Amino acid sequence: MTGIERKLLLTLLGFYREIGPAATPALRGLDEEAGLEPWELQEAVRGLRDRGLLEYWELQPAVRLTPEGLRVSIDLSGEGTS
């Protein structure tokens, strides 16, 4: 997993915690929230989507963690270990 993918997963975990499982942040502004350049965001979304770690809605456009994406993001945050 790349560094930009990790940043995006951890950012999405923050939205999940604040809003809940239905958190579906729009891509607009998500690059700034995650500390990524716009092209990095597109690359990270593509990579995570290809791995099945997030869902992508073209109409909004927006993203949401899949159950597997949530597990991976929790592990990355260090909270998944005891």
Q: So what's the pLDDT on residue 81?
A: 60
Q: What are the domain boundaries of the chain?
A: 3-77
Q: What is the pLDDT of residues 5-61, one digit of tens each?
A: 999 999 999 999 999 988 899 999 999 999 999 999 999 999 999 999 999 988 889
The CATH architecture of the domain made up of 3-77 is Orthogonal Bundle (1.10)
**Confidence band for 80, pLDDT divided at 50, 70 and 90:** low
Q: Model-level pTM?
A: 0.88
Q: So what's the pLDDT on residue 37?
A: 95
Q: So what's the pLDDT on residue 59?
A: 83
Residue 82 above 70 pLDDT? Answer: no
Q: Give the integer Cα–Cα distance in Å for 17 and 1.
A: 22
Q: Give the integer Cα–Cα distance in Å for 75 and 79.
A: 6
